[in-house]
Structure 1
Amino acid sequence: MIHQLIYVSTALRVFSNTEIGEILESSRRYNSKSGITGMLLSHDGSFFQMLEGNEAAVSACYARIETDPRHKSPIVLVRKQTQQRVFPRWSMGHAKPSDMSEEHRDIVVSLSNFAANLSELDEAGARELNILAKNFVSSFGKLEAV
């Protein structure tokens, strides 16, 4: 079984492309050693990330992420077991809205808006956020398969 974890968090500041590249390089090294794959989206100070792999490895990775001082308020949106990976070839894919199609950009902007207002999220908002997370997985999984 593959363990999947999706979370959102808020960056403490806006990162440059160079800094995002350094985060990705470090993540890719760690994830390759740990058998983790996934995708990171960054937009307007929000992070949205999916990790997948062995449950112990994903949990250990997320524990490190929770204590990373570059962001705050990480919230797990989805944690589940599944039969297969969505991103089998990406030790850590990355995208930002300016690199995306309109469909993908709309998903990321919506997720970013939710991330900015997580403290005010009601039950209906939580359901909508869950749907967006599922759309993210489906949409970007198709992108990775190309």
Structure 2
Amino acid sequence: MPRLLELLRFNIQALFAWTPKRSHVLSLILGVYALAGWGAFANKASANRDLTNQVSLLQTDRDALVGRQKELEQANLDLLREWQGKLASVREELGQAVTARDAAKGQLTSSQRELVASKKRLDQARDRVSETGSIKSTEASKKAAGKP
């Protein structure tokens, strides 16, 4: 272990004992700037590559969404046509039902008139029969005809 400390002390002393020349310092500074520049370029290129990947993914997603939107619009149009057809058939059925109802109302009205007329005839016949008393004689003749 003491040997390692001596070696480390020697290296530190050698480092501080070094006196760089102007050309060495300039080369060192230019090298550091070159490394920093290439590092910045690599970083920027990597960021651009990531952005390019993100853009391509977004374009793919957008294309998928546009396709899905077109499918939904087509499905919407199909449903609209279907409902319009159903609505037309329901309207037609409603028209037929209204026509049938009107016909039934007409028949009901004529039947009610006939019923009123029949009631009047029946009442008139009863009035005539009760005035003349012909029902009693008719009943007696029926009884007499049934006994022999």
- Taking CA–CA contacts closer than 8 Å with sequence separation of 6 or more, which of the two structures ends up with the larger relative contact order? 1
More strand as a share of residues = 1
Q: TM-score range by the shorter chain?
A: under 0.3
More helix as a share of residues = 2
TM (norm. structure 2) is 0.17
TM (norm. structure 1) is 0.17
